[in-house]
Structure 1
Amino acid sequence: MTIVAAADGSALGNPGPAGWAWYVDDNCWRAGGWPHGTNNMGELMAVLDLFRSTAHLPDEPLHILCDSQYVINSVTKWMPGWKRKGWRKSDGKPVLNIDLLKDIDAAISGRKYTFEWVKGHAGHDLNEAADDRARDAATAYQAKRTPNAGPGFPGANHSSPSGTSGAGTSAPAKKPPLADRATAATLLDDGALFADPEQPDLFSMLDDELDPAFAAPLETVLETVVELERLLLDPAVRADPLRAGELLHPDFEEIGASGNRWSRQDVLEMLEDEEPAGSDMEVLTLTKLDTATALLTYRSFSPDGNALRSSLWQHNNGQWRLRFHQGTPES
């Protein structure tokens, strides 16, 4: 019999206290999280734990409901290419969230599974249940208490591979180097995982006399900006005004090829009516303008055609947000 489950992740502040959860029914679900992580880490971990929790039923197909195009594409489209390239992306840089992705790659070996994209926060019962539990886990870490890990899957061995117990968390056997931990603490679409409850967050690891926006290695910080931009191209994020709104500066403006100017509220309202469509990007330039500002130019690819785009990102109150964007269709 096919096991139908929803998997979801949540991060308060993104990055911030993070949670993950999968849900079959009220008697079969599991959740966990970390003191500091990202939405994408949570989304990936939910899928990984679902495969691990059903490993004792290898002949039962899994049908996974997921509102993250990034997760679905990572598992079903991109991983084979990443593996062939030594877990590196097309630009030669290491794949982010590599620990989680490698673990998923091992967990799905020999399994029968399908993914179905569902729109987040749209009233889908299983998706809403997983989202609620992932958010509850993130909230628990925010309050510095142990989250409700749930009943788990009947007959499963839910012990953590690293010995972590009680909160449904999973951590790597070794802590990654500082640069990787800084990358993991940013909102990336494929970054290294750390999940030690005692691990300080990104900004506590930096020199207090340095500006936290650029105190981490410059390459790491600028790559964060790229991955945030990629996130804004994710149909699942664009379909969710709350998640998209977290990435837009309160004074955000966009100027289109028509010369029209849109405010943050204008853009969020347009996104609500937008049909989900995948989009990719090719980075052209990425420049640090000052201690808290980065300029990204890139070419976007979508079913509607290519466009040349520029985005101005500003760092404020511990988070990068998009301040200005302009796009011009490419002939």
Structure 2
Amino acid sequence: MTNTEITIHTDGSCLGNPGRGGWAATLRRYEGGKEVKKRSINGGVKHTTNNRMEMTAAIQGLKKIKKGEKAQITVYSDSRLLIQGMTDWHHKWQTNGWRKAGGKPVENRDLWEELLTVTDELNVQWEWVRGHAGDRRNEEVDAMAADAAYKAA
């Protein structure tokens, strides 16, 4: 039996915040340690925020994976908000009726809920990478997201 692994590198971009935005994700499938498939996707939105684009990139990447996929999936992002939201904070937010510790509503609740839905039945790990620090896969999705933001109408 071969080990199957899927990596998803994601990024969001915004020209102004809020402003025109773009998101990008690159999915790579590995069988037995060898890359067997690569797919890149991106898109843009006329008026949005950077955080929404970071989250949208992860959602759109994860939507490309079939429910119940048995592979180990690792999502890489330079967004600390996304990583910490999915690894540490969302449980408390849900328990507190989607409110933060200070009682204010969680921003982008719709996208957090969608992230939880798309990760259901998947084995997902979340990993933070430093943005603009020479990580070639992060730089790749950064360029794709920026291009999508420029083209957003």
Provide the TM-score with structure 1 as the length reference: 0.41
1:132 corresponds, among 126, 139, 143, to: 143
Answer 1 or 2: which has greater strand percent.
2
For residues 149 and 68 of structure 2, what CA distance do their matches in structure 1 show? 29
Question: Does the alignment pair 1:7 with 2:42?
Answer: no
Instruction: Name 1:23's counterpart in structure 2.
Output: 26
Instruction: State the shift of 1:67 in Å.
Output: 0.6
Segments of 5+ residues of structure 2 without an aligned counterpart are: 29-36
Please give the root-mean-square deviation of Cα atoms over the aligned residues, in Å. 1.5
Contact persistence 2:76–2:127 (CA under 8 A) = yes
Contact persistence 1:6–1:127 (CA under 8 A) = yes
Instruction: Name 2:32's counterpart in structure 1.
Output: none
Q: Secondary structure at the match of 2:41?
A: strand
Q: Percent identity?
A: 36
Instruction: Name 1:44's counterpart in structure 2.
Output: 55
Instruction: Name 1:78's counterpart in structure 2.
Output: 89
Q: Secondary structure at the match of 1:93?
A: coil
Structure with higher RCO (Cα < 8 A, 6+ apart): 2
Q: Secondary structure at the match of 1:9?
A: strand
- Residues paired across the two proteins, number: 142
Bigger radius of gyration, 1 or 2? 1
For residues 8 and 117 of structure 1, what CA distance do their matches in structure 2 show? 11
Instruction: State the shift of 1:27 in Å.
Output: 4.6
Q: Secondary structure at the match of 1:46?
A: helix
Instruction: Name 1:94's counterpart in structure 2.
Output: 105
Q: Secondary structure at the match of 1:91?
A: coil
The aligned amino acid for 2:109 is I
Instruction: Name 2:71's counterpart in structure 1.
Output: 60
CA deviations on 1:261-289 (whole Å, 9 max, x unpaired) are xxxxxxxxxxxxxxxxxxxxxxxxxxxxx
Contact persistence 2:67–2:121 (CA under 8 A) = no
Instruction: State the shift of 1:57 in Å.
Output: 5.8
Answer 1 or 2: which has greater helix percent.
2
Contact persistence 1:5–1:126 (CA under 8 A) = no
Contact persistence 1:24–1:126 (CA under 8 A) = no
CA deviations on 1:170-228 (whole Å, 9 max, x unpaired) are xxxxxxxxxxxxxxxxxxxxxxxxxxxxxxxxxxxxxxxxxxxxxxxxxxxxxxxxxxx
Q: Secondary structure at the match of 2:125?
A: strand
1:103 corresponds, among 114, 118, 122, to: 114
Provide the TM-score with structure 2 as the length reference: 0.87
Segments of 5+ residues of structure 1 without an aligned counterpart are: 145-331
Q: Secondary structure at the match of 2:98?
A: coil
Q: Secondary structure at the match of 2:90?
A: helix
CA deviations on 1:87-126 (whole Å, 9 max, x unpaired) are 1111222111010001011111121111221111112111
Instruction: Name 1:35's counterpart in structure 2.
Output: 46
2:80 corresponds, among 44, 64, 69, to: 69
